[in-house]
Structure 1
């Protein structure tokens, strides 16, 4: 039996796989599926679960991967993501790693296919099925919950320059579950923008994410005074990490909508 990644590549079940994960959220998922003993490498941003990943060697960041470190670890599989990892880097890894497993969740429901792919390729299907059942129940509860008034929100991920997200992103699809929409800011998936009266007029509130930029309550207070619209700090991991943390992310969304 084989399992298909987002590029249509077929991967056979590999019970003895040596895995390098270059995707923080998927590193956490692999650990939660019981696969930590097979993880031989991770990025410095793979910080969850902390007690487990501490023993796994680092191989650089998601963008600045140390190719030679990975070569020395002799992985059979490297897990990558289209948004988080650079295509030229993945190409170099493919020269000596037998299996590159490519992922690209766009909607919350894509977490189900992601978990089944990881569970299938790395022979942790029972754990993956149990996680998928829990996620499916939580998603159904959120989708069927009464929606509050629609909100137009600007979700900020960076400043200097200010950057936001497009509607075709995982975060935007998460927000859509509670009836919150993202304004159009151009064709880029993560567009930059400048504050103006026109931008402020398009939104009901601003969400400042705690990652990748480390926005704080001080940033939120200052921006609220500047633009005269509500600004709140949100947990970036809960909003953008697919995989294990997405289950908690759905619960976090419910609380966000109830505020």
Structure 2
């Protein structure tokens, strides 16, 4: 089977070869651990982080190698992986460089928009001989993007504040995957411009006054119903609601489900009349 250089190129521009023999994969990225399993590669997964929780039953038998930032290098060495899957935002460069000293193939990822998942599917499909699975996921994503864009086209754009942390309060910049996913259904995150990808929130900042609503994500901070009254007070009484952080931030095989979730959420909020 022929493979083009482009489909085997990772986020750093490294050209990979299709895996030969039985691949042994360690994934340090929760959403990509899920993708590996959904592409039929669960038997090849020998290591994962403690934050890799989907699919739950499948992962019970897979060795935990620490967290996304604090990886147990000696344990990874013992697992003798042929491939290591990492992400530019989620894993420390220094750690990845140490692992690269003894893992033959390090696959670096960095999806920043839902559309970037198409290249991700092609890369994994070509690398691990899962072309059919990659094509299935691409078709599901294309359909979900069409639905999301239809919702965005039918409704006026809406500025929103998306919270990922409390004390200090933190949001997301528009160059993040989360913001791009929200934008697919017509939600524009605030602040409109930021030097930091995850800026601290000044509730009194003039730029935030345009927010029509506030979303409190269920991860990485575990926002719950008890936090919403505080958020409404700080935001001047704006509508505030919880939002599933896995559906907005997990790329890979969850991307299509995330877009459908957001399209449905936007429709429901309009029907409920919670537009400021």
Q: With structure 1 as the length reference, what TM-score do the two structures score?
A: 0.96
- 1:249 is matched with 258
- 2:35 is matched with 29
Q: CA deviation at 1:197?
A: 5.7
Gaps of 5+ in 2: 270-276
Q: CA deviation at 1:151?
A: 1.1
Whether 1:167 and 2:174 are equivalent positions in the alignment is yes
My pick for the range that moved more, 133-142 or 71-80, is 133-142
Conserved? CA contact 1:151–1:179, under 8 Å: yes
Whether 1:148 and 2:167 are equivalent positions in the alignment is no
Conserved? CA contact 1:107–1:174, under 8 Å: yes
Cα distance in structure 1, aligned partners of 2:142 and 2:87: 23
Q: With structure 2 as the length reference, what TM-score do the two structures score?
A: 0.90
- 2:274 is matched with none
Show the 5 A alignment for 1:116-135. 116-135=122-141
My pick for the range that moved more, 117-126 or 74-83, is 117-126
Conserved? CA contact 2:174–2:193, under 8 Å: no
- Could you say if the C-alpha distance between residues 134 and 197 of structure 1 is closer, same or farther in structure 2, counting changes exceeding 3 Å? closer
Deviations 1:180-239 (A, max 9, x none): 112235301111123226354131111100000000011112211333111111000000
Deviations 1:8-58 (A, max 9, x none): 101111151110000000000110000000000000000000010111000
Cα distance in structure 2, aligned partners of 1:8 and 1:197: 39
- Bigger share in strand: 1
Conserved? CA contact 2:73–2:99, under 8 Å: yes
Report how many aligned residue pairs link the two structures. 259
Conserved? CA contact 1:210–1:234, under 8 Å: yes
Deviations 1:66-114 (A, max 9, x none): 1111011000110000000000001101111111000000010111111
Conserved? CA contact 2:161–2:208, under 8 Å: no
Deviations 1:106-164 (A, max 9, x none): 01011111111111111111111111112112212322344323211111100111111
Give the 3-state SS of the residue equivalent to 1:20 in structure 2.
Answer: strand
- 2:188 is matched with 181
Cα distance in structure 2, aligned partners of 1:165 and 1:174: 12
Show the 5 A alignment for 1:1-259. 1=3, 3-14=8-19, 15-145=21-151, 146-182=153-189, 183-184=191-192, 186-196=194-204, 198=206, 200-227=208-235, 228-258=237-267, 259=269
Cα distance in structure 2, aligned partners of 1:225 and 1:138: 35
Give the 3-state SS of the residue equivalent to 2:76 in structure 1.
Answer: helix
Conserved? CA contact 1:29–1:243, under 8 Å: yes
My pick for the range that moved more, 160-169 or 139-148, is 139-148
Gaps of 5+ in 1: none
Conserved? CA contact 1:210–1:233, under 8 Å: yes
Cα distance in structure 2, aligned partners of 1:160 and 1:197: 17
Give the 3-state SS of the residue equivalent to 2:58 in structure 1.
Answer: helix
